[in-house]
Amino acid sequence: MNRDRLKDMLIRHEGWKNRPYTCPAGHKTIGVGFNMEVNIMPSDIASHLRLKGYLPDDMINRLLDISIGTAIMNCREIYKGFDDFSENRQMALIDFLFNVGAGTALRFKKMRAAIKEGDWNRAADEMIDSAWFKQVKGRASEVVDLVRRG
């Protein structure tokens, strides 16, 4: 998978913030959607943030790499055969997990069943028929399109 293309998409969808902020779901966040309430921040990065009140770009890139690694690991657990999916579908599911988290992704049972059966159109339809799709609009349309196109 083209990691730079994935990063570009995630940055476009999540934004890039050097200072902590509250995300739309109410979580304390920094960087490119790094949820500070549920993710463990490396000690040197946490220390820098405590002392300076912001993070430099290189530290945000490290957090992004950590978040991508977590999303990929979760995708491999939730979507059997994930490594065999097309790059577009892998990127879509990583972006989806990045946005909603593993717990919420597990609640998309009909979507997961469609993916397991290889019915990507039905999986895309199940994504469209969700509160997530209505809440994140433009991002969701792009993710669904990647799922559908393969």
**Segment 129-138, tens digit of pLDDT:** 999 999 998 8
Indicate if the pLDDT at residue 22 is higher than 90: yes
Query: Which CATH code is given to the segment(s) 3-149?
Result: 1.10.530.40
Instruction: For residue 27, name the pLDDT band (cuts at 50, 70, 90).
Output: very high
Cα–Cα distance, 63 to 128 (Å, whole number): 29
pLDDT score, position 137: 83
Q: Is 118 helix (H, G, I), strand (E, B) or coil?
A: coil
pTM higher than the cut 0.85: yes
Indicate if the pLDDT at residue 42 is higher than 90: yes
Cα–Cα distance, 63 to 137 (Å, whole number): 25
Cα–Cα distance, 121 to 104 (Å, whole number): 21
Cα–Cα distance list, 143 to 36, 102, 147 (Å): 24, 16, 6
pLDDT score, position 23: 87
Residues sharing a CB contact under 8 Å with residue 42, sequence separation 6 or more, in sequence order: 62, 66
Indicate if the pLDDT at residue 144 is higher than 90: yes
Kindly compute the dihedral angle of the four CA atoms of residues 30, 88, 90, 146, in this order, to the nearest 10 degrees: 70
**To which H or E segment does residue 19 belong?**
strand 17-22
pLDDT score, position 69: 95
Cα–Cα distance, 81 to 94 (Å, whole number): 14
Residue 140's CB: how many other CB atoms inside 10 A?
Answer: 20
Indicate if the pLDDT at residue 84 is higher than 90: yes
Instruction: Name the residue among 104, 117, 78, 92 with its Cα closest to residue 1.
Output: 92
State the average pLDDT for the chain.
96
